[in-house]
């Protein structure tokens, strides 16, 4: 997996800004660390040197830190300033990281939700769509550790490591050679170990997941076992499965930790080699004490970001997987919504539904299956039939909210010459068509604030909104489901009154009162798909 | 932390293993400290230009520490993960035992919501407390003591400075991190709820918003909730940022203090250059262990939350209350009397009262629309749930939790199909089931042709990772299970929709079979037509 998803930087503004500022802060951190090492070397050198120091022992980099730093008081002042700068950098970086993480998550969430909503009700109701809500809430949260922990270290390894290397090179090319020689070994060894152990660790991982799933399966089935009086037996099975899982996990960990060991081993051993080489060359007088100290202090800093990247690797995997899931939704192409023709005015128009069929998400049934009816202005048309046979889906298709798998929805629009023109809903501008319907859905939202109300109250509000809207077509989905007798009669009267005032009324219902009041009744029947 | 301690105590964690993990972890980070100290000595000694032989031992020791760090770290990770995994396995078994022994109403209510799905992750989080919490903290203490010991031995003042800085870094960071985690937990509950609400509104009601042109409003609501969540996260992140700054400050202060002690000490002639070098450079390596404190504290906070959820879900069995006593299974069917019984889970509207007497071998169909409480009524008849009003008597005794599983067997609508073989899924009802009996039962519910189509017949793996089972097949499989149980009273919860012809025939065959066996059946259903196959019919609809 790539360490940094280019789509994050490319499409999410806060992510891009964060990456740039973090890289700049990394640069500043690198400079502070480098100067701090030089100051320490300058300050300690007079103590360690057998005779008073005269020449600048830091070579070409000596100009960075004046010779006065060899006096303790000056060195301490320099260090104090450097430490304060580092504290500030750390604090700012940490604040920025949390803020950027939260902003990226919000922006990604809003984009994904908007896109998923545009993908249409059928996709939202499908398995993938149902997972979107989880992805954008709990799933995206794992981006936080990615932004706060992993990404800064990744950027530090791209800034601090090379800069430190340059500093070491400026001080002592032999030590730099050792570092340059070992640095590429880190990724090479990790890749090699990964390649060699891939098959074994995949096998272990597989076994591990299977065993974990089976243990959870037993726990999930506990109510079932209890209902059958058989809950005592599997306890030993849980223990056995757990032990098997532990063995499989340890098998995989023994391999997985090896690359971590290679990383630690190479980096620390390289530091040790640098120290030992410096020591012997110091004896020979080939290197100055100031340089030796500075290199000794800097050598571990070269490797530190790399090691931290390794430490926070799991944070990266989770975060990137979450981002991946989000971008998968974003990259799903939007369905072509309707046509380009301006939607006709549905006031006074007759709606014609012919052979309408929509497949269920599992593809086993057509609900509705081959539905045909005509809804005239000024009349009430009731759609009846068992639950799940497609009444609500038929209404959604009529409103142009989802495409039909076969059949069509059309409007017969009165024209000037006492004639009518037929307009197919699939050809017209979807928004212009949909917004002429006054819809009271079964589980209305109305506004997000009303979500705290009970379903019955929400339905009432949605119904009032529909009746008061003056839109030409009223679409009511089980408007009387949660009402008592008195309110039911009132609603039926309102529906009839709306029709008499010229509206085209479509009602999906089980209620006899509503069916009796309807001018025509249509049976909605689902069809099994022959397999 | 009480719940975490309780669960860790119950997970049979082996103390020697944990100590070993802390020791190897300390050896690993201690190697880094040692490397820094010996390398400082080596350079300081070399500066005096002795003969190279004087450096030989130090050179070897430096290399040893160079290797030791990686090696010990590898060992530490293996030991700590092994200890934690053993703990998790023990804990899982313990929780299973607890849940299995819990009261029937507790267990049956587990299938509501995602509680059980979460328990696996929560147990793992408790295990993480060991690997990412307890052990790093132990290592931080040991390594800090080593570093303070080295510097204190060289110069007591240097030891004191290092000790104060390490202590301030560890305790300050721990306190601030804990505060940050607590703030995050507090704020996020509200903010997350608002965000989820807005997300659901935007997604599920998207068509409604399109029709009414309220898409922009819905999106603004999400943006507002998001903005609020960003503010909440910022507030909780503030202490964490202070913790990070404090750790940098402490490490820097230790460095400045040590340099001052080293240089003035050497100038005063208290010690030689090698000692001064060690004192001055040791702080550079000494803080790595302490820097792990915030991560460890965060993990402990998280693990404690998980532990709290587990303890709430599966409380320690109370010794003052008798566990569900086992009623002896009988071979004769007792009479079942529903005496004005009405059922409800806490907070639900009670169902309409029912009166009916079922003589041994009789059957009852309870009809009602979805959501009216049919399943709840079954749980009440089973004795798992106390009636909201009225009573249930089985064989003349008030129905109690003890009867579920002994006298009464219940097949829930959402009964679990285990991720094991088909025949093992039937053995769930009867342990000593033979293959022939299994095939007979499957034949009764009309699954013979399905079994023949399966790759390994009744040995085919089902569920997670196995062959997928369609809704209709699953229903009939559960019916076969209901037939196979030995309990004399069988309660069947029929799903609301999509009962196809085969399912209908299977149900009729099962009713006939149970009647021939002289067993009493209560079935709740959507479909009135079954009333023709039962002795009694009652409706829950008004």
Q: How far is B112 from chain A (nearest CA, A)?
A: 10
Q: How far from A199 is each of A188, A203, A210, A263, A385, CA to CA, in Å? A: 18, 6, 17, 21, 56
Among A351, A505, A508, A525, smallest CA distance to A438 is for A505
Whether B242 and B193 share a structural domain: yes
* Tens digit of each residue's pLDDT (9 = 90 or more) over A235-271: 777 788 888 888 888 887 888 788 888 888 888 889 9
pLDDT at B496: 47
Whether B142 and B249 share a structural domain: yes
Q: Is A216 near chain B, with CB under 8 Å?
A: yes
Task: Indicate the DSSP class of residue A359.
Answer: B
Whether the Cβ atoms of residue A42 and residue A69 lie closer than 8 Å to each other: yes
Interface of B with A in 374-403 (CB under 8 A): 382
Residue A433 CA to residue B211 CA, distance in Å, equals 9
Whether B408 and B469 share a structural domain: yes
Assigned token pair, B204:
């599920």
Domain boundary (B246, B281, B313) is at B313
Q: Is A83 near chain B, with CB under 8 Å?
A: yes
Q: Residue A449: closest CA among chain B residues belongs to which residue? A: B221
Q: A420: helix, coil or strand?
A: strand
pLDDT in tens, chain A (531 residues): 567 778 887 777 888 888 899 989 989 999 999 999 999 999 999 888 877 777 787 888 888 888 888 899 999 999 999 999 999 999 999 999 988 988 889 999 999 999 988 888 777 776 666 678 878 887 788 888 888 888 888 888 888 889 999 999 999 999 999 999 988 887 787 777 777 766 776 776 677 777 777 777 777 788 788 888 777 777 777 788 888 888 888 887 888 788 888 888 888 889 999 999 999 999 888 889 999 999 999 998 898 888 888 777 766 777 788 888 888 888 888 876 667 788 888 888 899 999 999 887 767 778 888 899 999 999 999 998 876 678 888 999 999 888 888 888 988 888 765 566 788 888 888 888 989 999 998 878 877 666 666 667 788 888 889 999 889 999 999 887 766 677 788 889 999 999 999 999 999 988 888 899 999 999 988 887 765
* Tens digit of each residue's pLDDT (9 = 90 or more) over A406-438: 888 988 888 765 566 788 888 888 888 989 999
Whether the Cβ atoms of residue A370 and residue A355 lie closer than 8 Å to each other: yes
- Give yes or no for a cis peptide into A26 (omega within 30° of 0): no
* CATH number of the domain bearing residue B110: 1.20.1560.10
E strand or H helix that includes residue A380:
strand A380-384
- Pick A279's closest partner by Cβ from B46, B69, B89: B46
Q: Is A88 near chain B, with CB under 8 Å?
A: yes
Number of residues written out for chain B: 542
- Pick B464's closest partner by Cβ from A103, A137, A213: A213
pLDDT at B328: 59
* C-alpha A365, offset from chain centre: 33
CB atoms B89 and A234 under 8 Å: no
Interface of A with B in 118-177 (CB under 8 A): 118, 120-121, 124, 129, 132-133, 136-137, 144
Residue B326 domain-assigned?
Answer: no
| Ramachandran category for residue A409: left, alpha or beta (phi over 0 → left; psi -120 to 50 → alpha) | beta
Whether B171 and B252 share a structural domain: yes
Residue B329 domain-assigned?
Answer: no
Residue B210 domain-assigned?
Answer: yes
Higher-confidence residue of B451 and B138: namely B138
CB atoms A434 and B419 under 8 Å: no
Whether B385 and B300 share a structural domain: no
Residue A239 CA to residue A424 CA, distance in Å, equals 64
Residue B119 domain-assigned?
Answer: yes
* Tens digit of each residue's pLDDT (9 = 90 or more) over B107-132: 776 665 556 667 777 888 888 899 89
CATH 3.40.50.300 fits A350-528, yes or no: yes
CB atoms A235 and B55 under 8 Å: no
* CATH number of the domain bearing residue B469: 3.40.50.300
Q: Tell me which chain A residues have a C-beta less than 8 angstroms from the C-beta of B42.
A: 275-276, 279
Beta sheet of A520-523, edge-to-edge order? A437-440, A473-477, A504-508, A380-384, A520-523
- Residues 6 or more apart from B171 whose CB is under 8 A from it? none
Give me the numbers of helices (H) and strands (E) for chain B, helices first please.
18, 9
Mean pLDDT for the stretch of residues B467-496: 81
Q: Where are the alpha helices (DSSP H) in B48-114?
A: 56-101, 104-109
Q: Where are the domains of chain A?
A: 6-172+287-330, 350-528
A513-527, B130-144, B263-277, B397-411: least confidently modelled range: B397-411
Q: Is B95 near chain A, with CB under 8 Å?
A: yes
Number of residues written out for chain A: 531
CB atoms A448 and B234 under 8 Å: no
Q: Residue B321 pLDDT more than 50?
A: no
pLDDT at B43: 92
Range of the domain at B372: 336-539
E strand or H helix that includes residue B302:
helix B293-313
Domain boundary (B279, B313, B347) is at B313
Assigned token pair, A425:
């809903």
Q: Is B317 near chain A, with CB under 8 Å?
A: no
Query: How many separate domains does chain B show?
Result: 2
Q: How confident is the model at residue B278 (pLDDT cuts 50, 70, 90)?
A: very high
Interface of B with A in 41-80 (CB under 8 A): 42-52, 55, 58-59, 62-63, 65-67, 69-71, 73-74, 77-78
Q: Residue B135 pLDDT more than 80?
A: yes
Whether B382 and B257 share a structural domain: no
Interface of B with A in 147-186 (CB under 8 A): none
Q: Tell me which chain B residues have a C-beta less than 8 angstroms from the C-beta of A94.
A: 237, 240-241, 244-245
Q: Is A218 near chain B, with CB under 8 Å?
A: yes
Q: Is A292 near chain B, with CB under 8 Å?
A: yes
Mean pLDDT for the stretch of residues B356-361: 90
Q: Is A432 near chain B, with CB under 8 Å?
A: no
Whether B185 and B263 share a structural domain: yes
CB atoms A435 and B213 under 8 Å: yes
Mean pLDDT for the stretch of residues B208-226: 90
CB atoms B104 and A226 under 8 Å: yes
Mean pLDDT for the stretch of residues B288-313: 90
Residue B144 domain-assigned?
Answer: yes
Q: Tell me which chain A residues have a C-beta less than 8 angstroms from the C-beta of B111.
A: 223-224
Residue B328 domain-assigned?
Answer: no
Whether B358 and B306 share a structural domain: no
Q: Residue B287 pLDDT more than 90?
A: yes
- The answer to whether the complex's ipTM is over 0.90 is no
């Amino acid at each position: 997996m790539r360490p940094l998803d280019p789509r994050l930087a490319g499409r999410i503004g806060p992510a891009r800004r964060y990456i740039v500022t973090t890289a700049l802060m990394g640069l500043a951190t690198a400079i502070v660390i480098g100067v701090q090492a030089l100051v320490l070397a300058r300050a300690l050198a007079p103590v360690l040197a057998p005779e008073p120091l005269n020449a600048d022992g830091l070579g070409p980099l000596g100009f960075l830190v004046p010779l006065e730093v060899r006096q303790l008081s000056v060195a301490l002042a320099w260090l104090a300033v450097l430490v304060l700068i580092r504290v500030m950098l750390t604090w700012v970086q940490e604040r920025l990281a949390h803020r950027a993480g939260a902003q990226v998550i919000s922006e990604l969430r809003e984009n994904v939700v908007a896109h998923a909503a545009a993908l249409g009700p059928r996709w939202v109701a499908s398995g993938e769509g149902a997972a979107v809500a989880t992805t954008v809430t709990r799933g995206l949260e794992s981006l936080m550790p990615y932004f706060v922990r992993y990404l800064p270290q990744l950027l530090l390894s791209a800034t601090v490591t090379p800069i430190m290397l340059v500093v070491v090179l400026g001080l002592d090319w032999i030590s730099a050679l050792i570092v340059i020689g070992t640095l590429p070994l880190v990724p090479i060894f990790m890749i090699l170990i990964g390649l060699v152990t891939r098959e074994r660790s995949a096998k272990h991982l597989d076994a591990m997941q299977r065993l974990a799933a089976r243990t959870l399966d037993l726990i999930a089935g506990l109510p079932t076992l209890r209902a059958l009086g058989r809950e005592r037996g599997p306890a030993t099975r849980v223990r056995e499965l757990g032990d098997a899982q532990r063995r499989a996990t340890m098998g995989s960990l023994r391999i997985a930790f090896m690359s971590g060991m290679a990383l630690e081993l190479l980096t620390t051993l390289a530091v040790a080699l640098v120290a030992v080489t410096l020591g012997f060359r110091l004896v020979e007088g080939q290197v100055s004490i100031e340089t030796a100290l500075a290199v000794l202090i800097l050598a571990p800093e070269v490797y530190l970001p790399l090691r931290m990247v390794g430490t926070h690797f799991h944070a990266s995997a989770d975060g990137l997987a979450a981002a991946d899931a989000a971008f998968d939704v974003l990259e799903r192409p939007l369905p072509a919504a309707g046509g380009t023709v301006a939607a006709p005015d549905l006031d006074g128009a007759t709606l014609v539904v012919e052979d309408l069929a929509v497949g269920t998400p599992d593809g086993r049934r057509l609900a509705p299956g081959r539905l045909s009816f005509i809804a005239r202005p000024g009349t009430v048309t009731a759609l009846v039939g068992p639950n799940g046979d497609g009444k609500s889906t038929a209404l959604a298709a009529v409103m142009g909210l989802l495409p039909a798998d076969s059949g069509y929805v059309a409007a017969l629009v009165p024209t000037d010459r006492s004639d009518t023109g037929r307009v197919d809903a699939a050809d017209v501008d979807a928004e212009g068509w949909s917004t002429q319907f006054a819809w009271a859905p079964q589980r209305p939202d109305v506004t997000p604030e009303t979500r705290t109300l009970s379903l019955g109250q929400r339905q009432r509000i949605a119904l009032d909104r529909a009746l008061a809207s003056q839109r030409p077509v009223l679409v009511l989905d089980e408007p009387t489901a949660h009402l008592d007798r008195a309110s039911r009669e009132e609603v039926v009267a309102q529906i009839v009154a709306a029709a008499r005032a010229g509206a085209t009324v479509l009602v999906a219902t089980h209620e006899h009162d509503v069916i009796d009041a309807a001018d025509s009744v249509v049976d909605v029947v689902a069809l099994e798909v022959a397999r | 932390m009480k719940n975490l301690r309780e669960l860790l105590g119950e997970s049979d964690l082996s103390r020697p293993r944990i100590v070993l993990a802390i020791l190897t972890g300390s050896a690993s980070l201690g190697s880094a400290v040692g490397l820094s100290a010996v390398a400082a000595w080596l350079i300081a000694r070399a500066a005096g230009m002795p003969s190279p032989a004087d450096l030989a031992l130090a050179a070897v020791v430096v290399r040893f520490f160079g290797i030791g760090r990686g090696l010990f770290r590898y060992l530490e990770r293996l030991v700590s993960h092994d200890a934690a995994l053993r703990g998790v396995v023990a804990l899982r078994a313990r929780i299973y035992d607890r849940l299995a022994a819990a009261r029937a109403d507790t267990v049956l209510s587990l299938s509501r919501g995602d509680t059980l799905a979460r328990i696996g992750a929560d147990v793992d989080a408790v295990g993480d407390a060991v690997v990412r919490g307890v052990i790093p903290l132990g290592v931080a203490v040991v390594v800090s003591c080593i570093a303070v010991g080295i510097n204190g031995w060289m110069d007591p003042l240097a030891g004191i400075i290092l000790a104060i800085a390490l202590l301030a870094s560890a305790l300050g960071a721990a306190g601030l991190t804990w505060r940050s985690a607590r703030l995050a937990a507090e704020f996020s509950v509200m903010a997350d709820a608002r965000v989820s609400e807005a997300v659901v509104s935007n997604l599920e009601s998207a068509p409604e918003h399109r029709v009414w042109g309220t898409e922009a409003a819905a999106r603004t609501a999400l943006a507002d909730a998001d903005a609020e969540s960003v503010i909440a996260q910022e507030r909780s992140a503030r202490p964490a940022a202070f913790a990070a700054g404090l750790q940098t400050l402490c490490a820097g202060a230790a460095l400045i203090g040590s340099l001052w002690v080293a240089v003035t000490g050497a100038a005063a002639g208290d010690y030689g250059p090698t000692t001064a070098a060690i004192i001055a450079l040791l702080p550079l390596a000494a803080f790595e262990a302490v820097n792990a404190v915030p991560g460890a504290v965060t993990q402990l906070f998280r693990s404690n939350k998980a532990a709290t959820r587990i303890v709430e879900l599966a409380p320690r069995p109370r010794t003052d209350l008798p566990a569900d006593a086992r009623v002896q299974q009988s071979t004769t069917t007792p009479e079942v009397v529903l005496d004005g019984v009405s059922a409800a889970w806490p907070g639900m509207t009670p169902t309409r009262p029912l009166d009916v007497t079922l003589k041994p071998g009789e059957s009852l169909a309870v009809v009602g629309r979805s959501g009216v409480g049919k399943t709840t009524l079954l749980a009440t008849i089973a004795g798992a749930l106390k009636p909201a009003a009225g009573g249930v008597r089985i064989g003349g005794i008030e129905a109690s939790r003890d009867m579920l599983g002994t006298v009464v067997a219940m097949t829930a609508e959402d009964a679990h199909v285990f991720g094991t073989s088909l025949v093992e899924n039937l053995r769930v009802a009867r342990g000593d089931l033979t293959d022939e009996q299994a095939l007979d039962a499957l034949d009764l519910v009309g699954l013979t042709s399905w079994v023949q189509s399966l790759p390994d017949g009744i040995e085919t793996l089902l569920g997670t990772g196995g062959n997928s089972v369609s809704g209709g097949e699953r229903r009939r499989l559960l019916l076969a299970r209901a037939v196979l149980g030995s309990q004399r009273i069988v309660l069947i919860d029929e799903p609301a929709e999509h009962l196809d012809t085969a399912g209908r025939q299977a149900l009729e065959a099962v009713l006939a079979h149970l009647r021939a066996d002289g067993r009493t059946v209560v079935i709740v259903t959507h479909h009135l037509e079954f009333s023709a196959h039962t002795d009694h019919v009652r409706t829950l609809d008004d």
